[in-house]
Structures are given as C-alpha cells and as structure tokens.
C-alpha cells in the first residue's frame, strides 16, 4: 500500500466513523426508559400487594404506571373494577399470571417493561 493510499484509507475510515457517531453515540431519549418515566408519577415508592378494594398513593402509582403503558385507567387512588381490568390486560400482555392483583411481578413489569 502506498503512502497516498494509506492516507486516503485513513481519511475515509475517519469520515465514516464521524458520520455515524451521532447515531450510536447519542444517548437514548430520557422518556424511552420506563423506569425514568415512572418517576414522573410521583405517588410514592412503596409497592404493597394491591387488589380490588385497595386505596391510597400506592394505587395511584400503579394506576399512573398503567396509564403510561397505554391503559386508560382513572388515577383516583381507588382500586376498582376498571383498575382490576387494566391490570389483567397488562398482565396478559406481559406473560404474567392473570389475577388482577398488583404483586411483586406485576410491579416489576410496570416499571421495567
């Protein structure tokens, strides 16, 4: 390889790396991380087992997470039939046991899927 060819090849390689750098070097958008999105719910960080009849901030957090996943549930802090149905649909979509209860596996899926 001649010196001129070596310089041309080096310049080409550097140009290709520079041209593609933004695609692989740029961080993912902040809201692409479900755990980051969930922090925006802000209803608390306790994760008790929730079922129909439960109420309070933990229910609001679960409802907010369901809403972020596209389930149109009212964020009112009352775990009623609509919340239970949304939980069951979420569980079905994520290969979880379908029982309508927000337990450890469902909490994990709400945050990380």
pLDDT digits (tens, 9 = 90+) for 59-106: 999 999 999 999 999 999 999 999 999 999 999 999 999 999 999 999
Whether 16 has a pLDDT exceeding 50, the answer reads no
Whether 18 has a pLDDT exceeding 80, the answer reads no
State the average pLDDT for the chain. 80
Instruction: Report the alpha-carbon distance of residue 95 to residue 53 in Å, rounded.
Output: 24
Instruction: Report the alpha-carbon distance of residue 15 to residue 59 in Å, rounded.
Output: 53
pTM of the predicted protein model: 0.68
Instruction: Report the alpha-carbon distance of residue 97 to residue 48 in Å, rounded.
Output: 17
What domain range includes position 94?
30-112
The domain total for the chain is 1
Which CA distances in Å does 36 have to 29, 52, 109? 10, 27, 14
Residue 10 lies in a domain: no
Count helices and strands (H / E) in the chain: 5, 0
What number of other Cβ atoms are within 10 A of residue 67's Cβ? 15
Q: 33 or 48: which carries more pLDDT confidence?
A: 48
Instruction: Look up the CATH number of the domain holding residue 51.
Output: 1.10.101.10
């Amino acid at each position: 390889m001649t010196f001129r060819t070596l310089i041309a090849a080096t310049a080409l390689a550097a140009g290709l790396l520079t041209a593609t750098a933004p695609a692989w070097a740029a961080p993912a958008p902040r809201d692409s991380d479900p755990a980051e999105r969930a922090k925006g719910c802000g209803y608390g960080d306790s994760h008790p087992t929730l079922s129909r009849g439960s109420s309070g901030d933990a229910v609001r957090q679960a409802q907010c997470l369901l809403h972020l996943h596209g389930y149109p549930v009212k964020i009112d802090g009352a775990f009623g039939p609509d919340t239970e149905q949304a939980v069951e649909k979420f569980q079905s979509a994520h290969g979880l046991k379908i029982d309508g209860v927000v337990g450890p596996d469902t909490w994990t899926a709400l945050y990380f899927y």
